Structure formats: structure tokens, C-alpha cells
Chains A and B, each alone.
Chain A
Amino acid sequence: MSVLRKRWQYVVLFVGLAALFLLPAYSSESTVSFVNRVLIAIVAVQGLNILTGYTGQISLGQAAFMTVGGYASTLLVTQLGWNFFFALPVAALSAGVVGLIFGLPSLRVKGFYLVMATLSAQFIIPWITRNIYGDILHGAQGLNVPVPIIKLPVINNLCFFGTQFDGELGACVYRFATSDQFIHISLVVVILSTIVAHNISRSRLGRALVSIRDNDLAAELLGIDPFAYKLKAFFIAAVFAGAAGAMLAHNLRHINSVTVNLTDSILFMGMLVVGGLGTSLGPIFGATLVILLEEIATVMSPWVISVLPDNAAGATAALRPLIFGLALIVFLIFEPRGLAHRWKLTKAAWRMRPFSR
């Protein structure tokens, strides 16, 4: 189903994107930082949506593939001197290859057993980053990650397009050092990943994935090779995760084996359930809502401390999982198809007004 049907919808989208690109101009860095986190999470959840939402393969390894992307991008930039913008797609593809390896068990196992198989990625990959190639990966300490830069040549002793002269590099440089600057990278990647993910869902590949999800035996009888398509889904999901991991590492400026962990993998799954499995808008709604809930929990912490001073640590410790767990339960009971479905119903009701109620 097309998300955008009419010209005015394109205009709204265009204005919305422009507003997001210009967010640093009229909003606090705190808000920009929040949006930045949401955008990075959206990319990771979009990948999971292709694997879990469209293909029906449940994975708890998404955060591990983010770790691969983060490390790969960092090493390409620091060890080989690549520019971040070249390192990003290569890092994403590296994560994709690793995702393929962990997708291999999907040939033989499914459901709960596949969850266990993908969970292994969450243990093996951090272990590798901690214990192997310590001289390059710096073990558990991890790596400091340089901020992305754009280098332009000096023309007539002048720097253009907001760049600043960098004496060390001998060039005009634009640094994506703060959230205000990094959000432009995140937005471009999210736009691209959304276009790719949405088009996958409408392509032959997407239809094959959905048929495997709905009935893999029937799909096979129709000539679809479930193993090949499941592997493709694992690859694509890991590519998205790798891109998100690379962005996260360069945004945080640091990566180690626990920067993204099992909890994040579970959170991504929660975002997908809350947003709506197998829909283009689901990852966007889900990531926004869950991170917003996390933010609310953070803002509520001082209030909880003041109300329950004797049990402050325990109460604040409970706050975040409590809010997330409640949201998940509420959605599973009242809207199991997620916010995207609710949005679809609302749009349909608006179109049919005044005959809808």
C-alpha cells in the first residue's frame, strides 16, 4: 500500500523533512540529541523489521551486528584513513556478511530455536571484540572514534560552505562533532534506509519474504527458496544494523563490546512490536515512542528520588523497565498490530468522515 497518495502528502513530507533538517536552527541541542538517537534506532529497527516483520525470523542479534558496524567503520577510518562517508557503507556491508553467518542456522531451525541461535551472536561478537586482536581492538576498553569530517580544498585562501581551515589537514574541514551537526548525517541515512526498506517490501523480494513468513511450505511449493531468501533477509537486516552501529559509534565517539548489548536487542524488538511488525511506518513509530518513554523515565528520576528518598536506587532502577514493560503489555493487549495499524485506522476514518466513528 502506498504511504503517500496525493500531492499534498508529498508537500507535508517535504516540509516535515525540511523541519527536521533545520531542527538545530530552532531547537535545543537536547532535542536534537533526542531526535538523533531516535533516527539511529530507526535504522536498526528497519533492518529488524525486514527480518522479523516481513520474513518472520525472530532475531536477538541486532545489537551485535551494530557492534560489527561500529568497529568496522572505526577501523576503516582510524587504521586505513578512510573518510567516514566511504567507511559507512563498507561497514554496513561487513555487518551484513557477519549477519549471513549467523543466519545460516535458519536453514534448520525456526521460532524459539532461531532466537537462541541469533542470541549467540550477542555473546560471540562482543567476546571477539574483547579478546581477539587486542592490539587493534583494544580489548574491553574499546576504541575512541573520530568524528566524521568533510574535507574541501582551499580555494584562493578561502573556505566555503561553512567549513573551517584545519592546519593539520591543510584543507577546509566541516566536522560533524555535535548532535546539531550529526543529525544531518542521521537524517540522510534514515531517508535512504526508509526508501530502501519500503521498496523492498513492495518488490519481488519483499513478497517472497512475506510468503515465507506466512507459510514457508506453501512458499517453497511456489518455487521460492526459503533458505536463500531467509539469508537475504539476515543480510539486509545486518546491513541496516551495521549502518546504525557505524553512526552510533561516530556519534558517541567511542565503541566497545558493551556500547550496544543484549538489552538493546530486546529494546529493538520491543520497538518493532509497539510500532507494528511488517509495516514501513512501524519502526519509525516504535523507535520514537520507546525512546520517548526512556526519556520520560530519565526526567522522572529526580522526582522519584525526592518522593522515595529511602528507596531511591531501587525505585529509579525499576522505573525504566517498568515503563517499557507496561507499554509493551498495553500494546500487546489493546493494539497487537502496533501504532502503524492505529495510524492506518485513523487515516481511514478521516477519509471516510462523516461516515466513520
Chain B
Amino acid sequence: MRKNPLLILLSIVFLALLLSGCASAAEEPTPAPPPEPTEVPVVEPVAEPTEAPAEEPMEEPTAVPTEEPVVEPTAAPTEEPEPMLRTDNLEGETIHLYHFGDLSGPYAAITGPLVFGMQDAVNALNASGGIRGAMLDVQFADTAGSVDEAVAAYDRFTSEDDNVLAMITYGSGEAEALASRFVEDQIVNLTAGFSAEAFYGPGSGYTFGLGPIYPDQLGYFLDWLVANWDEAKPASAGDEINLAYLSWPGAFGQGALTTESRAYAESLGVNIVAEEIYDLSPSADTTTALLNAQAAGANVIWTNTLAFGPAALMNGIGALGLQGQFVLAGDNWAMDLATYAFVSDPSLAVGLITPFPYLWWNDADNPGIQAAQELFDANERPAGAHNVGYLLLLAGVDLLRQSIEVAIDTVGFDALSGQALYDALTTMGPIQALDGVIRVDYSDGSRSPHNVQLRQIQGGPDAFNVLQDWTDMPDLRPAGE
């Protein structure tokens, strides 16, 4: 066979390009192990000139680290005066925040107000001088509820900014999928998707919650239910608590039912008698799920859904004439004005019980709620946005403000990074954001709050009344955490 020299030459060039393409990745640092946040590397002084890896030949082999690194004495840097940290008068500087969520998919009803809350909070903060004079800049990406899109948004933001401090995410699925990336890139993820897997699963570590993880929420409700069963139980129920888990598919819908929460329910003597899934759709038919739950002897229903999710169950209960047959409970998102938009009869929502990790609009004596109301009115937001999402993000931005200020005080503005923000969050102790609208404490090794209220709808949309005031929740983090 006659050999074509051009083809051979091109093949060699192609192979060389391919190898060099692969080798370029070697310059990147290896992914960081789970965080050791407070340790500051002191072996090398910061000012030491670093080697320029780009100038090295790409195929240069890397040395395997020896077991005992040689530490050279570093006397000189200590004699130099400490450089002044820039912690104040940061006018002209910009702090970038990134958030992405579902504005065009199934969770849009809750994400829309979250985005409004973020925008209004940041605008208000900038109008009042920003953070020590530095202005906040917010970038948003719509993920349509798709993890694929969320990863794309993450890649886009990280490629545009080499020093991303924090990203705010709203979905359990995206928080789970991105958890290991946040660790590798040392970016704080403040999330409203409370999947235990995202917070404490393998490879996670930089995900912080604006509310408690869903298994904790279920455990907290069950604690209260067991203690108050005689008063709370439906008229037709006996002494046994039989729970039906009727929810959406996916990371969020199934987020409360974990090995730990099942074991906890069992330890409390609560039987999980039915697990049914219904469509993630405003027009979902829940009658089959409800009838199956009834046939299994359920007297309590838990749903990990929001907006049209709990509404579909309420409508189903109404259609089947099963009012008063079940104690209906759900995750924190279930109790929201967004639910009312989908309920055929508002009276069907009465009785719903959920953990409540924040204050509500009717806590009008709280200064944070007052400020939120003023902001909402000033921005002339639509009535539909007057819900949990808006409120939570106002508090979330205040939480970020406080932690960024602590990080700036610690490392200075010029060294502000995701790692510095992580350190701040995990060392600040109890934080009351927006005058106590949310209460978190990430200093105990937990990255989700453990102190919440339990509320019940006892009237119209404004009557989300407290059944149990701020109390500690059971800790149902995944084993091994």
C-alpha cells in the first residue's frame, strides 16, 4: 500500500495537538479535598515569586510528592511590616454574586419571587452604600429546572470570573449535582434547595442552607405530632400514627424520605404506610394517590412539594370528600401564598402544618419584616411575589452581607475569596439575618439551620399561625457526616 506523506504528517501534527490539548490540564490544580478552612498556608510567604508553569514543557513529568515535604526556614517575611488590609472605603470596587434557578420550568412559581427578592435586596444595599462602599453586582441565569442547564450556568459564571465568592441556587437537583464542583472551586453555595445529599453527601461541603434539610423538617414535624397526637389526630384515627408520603418525583419531592428519616420515624413509632408519587404539574390528579393512602390506613400525609404540589393534594381531598380524614403536612415551601393560587377552595388549605424556618409577613412587629414590606411596596412588586421566596432572599442577601463583612475584616478586600467567605460563615456563630427573619448557625459543623418554628394555616392566607415557637430540630444528617 502506498503511503501518503501528507497524511502521515497531518496525523503526527494531529496527535501532537491532541497530546498537548490533554496535557494543558496538568497545569490546573488538583481538586481540593473537603475543606480545612481555617488553616492558612504559612510554609511559603505570599510574596514569594511563583514558578511560571506555562513556560515549562507540557510533557514535563510531575514529581510524586515525597512523604515529608522540606520546609525551608522563613525568617525574612516576619521581619517585614504586615501589609495593611483594605477593609473599609471600598468605593469603586465591585463584589459579584451569581444566582441561577428555574424561571421557565416547573418551579418558576417559587423562583420568580426569589429573584425579585434578590434584585430588590441588592439594589437597596447598593443604594445604602453597598458593603463598605463596594457595590454588589448580580448575575442571573435561568435553568428551566434542568440540571444540565444549571451545570452550564455554573460553567459560564466560573469562566467569566476567576474569583467567585458565592452562588445562590434554588433547586435541590442542581444543588446536589453541583455540590462537588463548589468544593473543588471553593465557592460558597447558599441554597434554597434543602436536599440532605447536597449538603452532606460525598464530595459536598460548601453548600449552606437558608433553611433546614428536608429530613430534619420531617423529623421535626413527627416530634410534634407524636407529642400532640391526641389533640391533632383526625376524629376517625386511632392511636397509631400512619403516615403516607405523597409527593413529586425527583430530588426535591423525595428529599425528606431518607434512611435517617425513616429510621427516626420508626423510632418514634410512626408507620410509613404508603409512598405515592404524582405528577409535577399544576393539573396533576392526586385522587389515586389519596385513595391508595386511605386504603393503606394512613391518617397523616406528608408532601415535599410547593405551590401547585400541596394544592393538588388539597384539591384531591376536596374532590374525594376526605376533609378531616388526614393531618396534612409538608416541607416549608408548602405553606406559601403560591399554594393559594392553585387551590380551588381556600378553606381546603386550612389545617396544613409545616416547619417554618423564617418569620412571615404577618409578624409585622419585627423590624426585618417591616423593612421587607417597605421594600416590596417601594418596588411595586406584583401581589404574587409577596411570598416566602421574596422574604427569604432579602434575608439571604443580608446573611451574605454580614458574612462578607466578616471575611473582609479577616483577610482584607483584596484577598476576599470563596474560601474566606466559607471561613466567615463557619466561624460567625449564630446569625440573625434581616433582624431575625432567618436564624442560622453554621459553626457547629452543620451547614443547615436546626432551629425553626412549626406553623399551621388557621384561616386565610395571612393566618400562618405558630403552633410551636423556635425549637431545635432532630439532626437527621446522612450517616458519616
Chain A residues with a Cβ under 8 A of chain B: 7, 11, 14, 17-18, 21-22, 24-25, 28-34, 37, 126, 130, 139-142, 144, 154-155, 157-167, 172, 174-175, 177-181, 184, 248, 251-254, 256-259, 294-295, 297-298, 301-302, 305, 310, 312-313, 316-320
Contact = CB atoms under 8 A, between A and B. Distances in A.
B250 A256 contact: yes
A295 B144 CA distance: 11
B64 A312 contact: no
Max count, chain A CB within 10 A of own CB: residue among B18, B20, B140, B250 = B250
A162 B23 contact: yes
A276 B146 CA distance: 26
A126 B10 CA distance: 46
A162 B159 contact: no
A146 to B, nearest CB: 9
Contacts of B63: 157-159
Contacts of A310: 382
A33 B155 contact: yes
Pairs A-B, 8 closest by C-beta atoms: A162-B26, A140-B254, A313-B112, A29-B159, A33-B155, A30-B156, A158-B61, A254-B177
B326 to A, nearest CB: 22
B251 interface: yes
B138 to A, nearest CB: 10
A21 B22 CA distance: 9
B35 interface: no
B25 A298 contact: no
A189 to B, nearest CB: 15
Given A298-B153, A320-B104, A257 B59 contact: no
B176 interface: yes
Determine chain B's interface SS by DSSP, over half rule: helix
Interface of B: 6, 10, 13-14, 17-26, 28, 30-31, 58-59, 61-66, 103-105, 108-109, 111-112, 115-116, 140-144, 147-149, 151-153, 155-156, 158-160, 173, 176-177, 180-181, 184, 195, 197, 201-203, 249-251, 253-255, 257-258, 277, 382
Given A142-B251, A248-B148, A28 B160 contact: yes
Contacts of A34: 152
Given A14-B10, A21-B17, A28-B159, A177 B184 contact: yes
Contact of B31 (A25, A159, A175): A175
Contacts of B176: 141-142, 144, 254
Given A30-B155, A158-B61, A252-B177, A144 B21 contact: no
B201 A174 contact: no
Determine chain A's interface SS by DSSP, over half rule: helix
9 contacts: A11-B10, A21-B17, A141-B254, A161-B22, A295-B152, A298-B142, A298-B152, A313-B112, A318-B104
A33 B250 contact: no
A184 B17 CA distance: 12
A28 B63 CA distance: 29
Contact of B62 (A37, A163, A180): A163
Given A158-B63, A179-B155, A126 B249 contact: yes
B59 A313 contact: no
Nearest to B150: A252
A258 B31 contact: no
Contact of B59 (A28, A160, A297, A319): A160
Given A144-B201, A301-B140, A181 B25 contact: yes
A256 B103 CA distance: 21
A165 B64 contact: yes
Contact of B151 (A175, A180, A252): A252
B140 A302 contact: yes
Nearest to A155: B61
